[in-house]
Structure 1
Amino acid sequence: MRYMMLIHHDEAALAKAPPSLWGDYAAFNEAIAKAGISYQPGNRLQPSSAASTVRVAGDKAAVLDGPYADTKEQLAGYFMIDVPDLDQAIVWATRCPSARYGSIEIRPLHTA
């Protein structure tokens, strides 16, 4: 089953992360490849200050500066993984280097 991993970070904590974090990501990506798991790397997102939120009511759109939710942890990136079940998705989420600086939300993709 395919799962999207949504990476949420406290942006201040991420700014203090050591440069080795990116090397840890390279090792994480290599481990996924060696395990033979179908993996689609995503992208790191720009800070929440660069976000815009659009809300439509009737025929009027409102565009707000900033993210959808004003919380300490913000959506910072994503990737997709294809594993047999949620338990395996959890295993890989715990190995993701970003889990040390925030949280990983696991969402199954619809299979229609």
Structure 2
Amino acid sequence: MTRYLVALHRPDDYDPSVAEDAAMGREIDGLNDEMVAAGVRVFVGGLRPVANAMSLRALPDGEVLIAAGPYLKSQEHVSGFWVLDVADMDEALTWGRKAAIVCRAPVEVRPFH
């Protein structure tokens, strides 16, 4: 089995209290239950808005610069993710499709080393 990251992307201004209703919450819970029942879910986590991020950069002199905000300047960032243990990319994509549908958002699937 190989581990895959299934990452959910949202716009920076995404507000779940406005965009997500109870039905969507039940669908996401159902997907999580399905992953657990299939024995593929290793870990799942939602991230706070990107405004809560802190970025760290190592400088040539050995110091580390810490700044408020995301490392990458973008209009979308990872808002949540699953780590799955599945047979191959095809199986990971099957779960990724389900995540994209229930979360109504773009999803990226990438294997771990």
Q: Do they fold alike, i.e. is TM over 0.5?
A: yes
Query: Identity, % of aligned pairs?
Result: 22
What are the ranges of 5 or more consecutive residues in structure 2 without an aligned counterpart?
none
Tell me which of 89, 94, 98 is aligned to 2:92.
89
CA distance, structure 2, for counterparts of residue 46 and residue 31 of structure 1: 24
Give the 3-state SS of the residue equivalent to 1:74 in structure 2: strand
Question: How many aligned residue pairs are there?
Answer: 107
CA apart distance, 1:11: 4.1
Work out whether 1:71 is the aligned partner of 2:111. Answer: no
Range that drifts further, 4-13 or 74-83: 4-13
**Cα RMSD for the two superposed structures:** 1.7
Work out whether 1:48 is the aligned partner of 2:46. Answer: no
Work out whether 1:17 is the aligned partner of 2:20. Answer: yes
How does 1:94-109 map onto structure 2 within 5 Å?
94-96=97-99, 97-98=102-103, 100-101=104-105, 103-109=106-112
Give the 3-state SS of the residue equivalent to 1:12 in structure 2: coil
Q: 1:14 to 1:90 in 2, by over 3 A?
A: farther
State the Cα deviation string for residues 11-66 of structure 1 (Å, max 9, x = none).
434532223222111110222233x2321232111110000000011212111111
CA distance, structure 2, for counterparts of residue 107 and residue 25 of structure 1: 20
